[in-house]
Chain A
């Protein structure tokens, strides 16, 4: 969707390194969701952000939403093979459905 840009499209990271994935919206967000998807499978919910400046963490994954509520980042600390997959950001523009970015394919190499 052109309303939501995700970068990078793919990322190859050595195990143990940190990484960041970005999601930028052309409009103000009501909410921003991060999901993870293994190839050929459904989406696994990671985190949801609603307030400007909000930051949430779960295990080694931290997600932030900027004050203007147009940009979010997902940061993984000390990456592990289990972090490999496709990360998708989904925008709630207040119209009852989610608009997704194209995803970031994350590969972790030993």
Chain B
């Protein structure tokens, strides 16, 4: 079963360092989403791609955050100059847009838990 995968699962870094996370979506899915979840809260939308085009970015995504999906397959999320407030679970989801009704369901990966010291 090739679901959404994320790497790494856990990341501990020092404040000021850069980190990069990777997401591999379900293979036939053309949409890929990034969400951030802090303790006791639901996930919050960060950005999404349709194929390789980044179509929307949340105002939560400061200029220290950048996401790419260069070939319309896997995606990377980079955080530059990390701050303690960046500590959270970063979740990736993918979906198939333009398919049959119900196929637009977003399926989530296991997440990358980031701790900034």
Contact surface of A with B, Cβ cutoff 8 Å = 1, 6, 33, 35, 40-45, 48, 50, 88, 90, 96-103
B87-105 CB mask vs A (1 if < 8 Å, else 0) is 0010101000000011001
Within 8 A of A (CB), among B74-117: 89, 91, 93, 101-102, 105-111, 113
CB-CB under 8 A from B111, the residues of chain A are: 40-42
B33 in the interface (beta carbon within 8 A): yes
Contact with B91, one of A1, A42, A97, A99 (Cβ below 8 angstroms)? A42
Asked if A35 meets B108 with Cβ closer than 8 Å, knowing A99-B45, A100-B42, the reply is yes
CB-CB under 8 A from B102, the residues of chain A are: 48
Could you tell me the distance between the alpha carbons of A102 and B111 in the complex, rounded to whole angstroms?
Answer: 17
Contact surface of B with A, Cβ cutoff 8 Å = 4, 6, 33, 35, 40-45, 48, 55-56, 89, 91, 93, 101-102, 105-111, 113
Summarize A's interface: helix, strand, loop or mixed.
strand
Does B45 contact A97, Cβ atoms closer than 8 Å?
yes
CB-CB under 8 A from A41, the residues of chain B are: 110-111
Does B44 contact A33, Cβ atoms closer than 8 Å?
no
Does B56 contact A96, Cβ atoms closer than 8 Å?
yes
Does A43 contact B105, Cβ atoms closer than 8 Å?
no
Could you tell me the distance between the alpha carbons of A88 and B43 in the complex, rounded to whole angstroms?
Answer: 9
CB-CB under 8 A from B101, the residues of chain A are: 50
Could you tell me the distance between the alpha carbons of A44 and B48 in the complex, rounded to whole angstroms?
Answer: 19
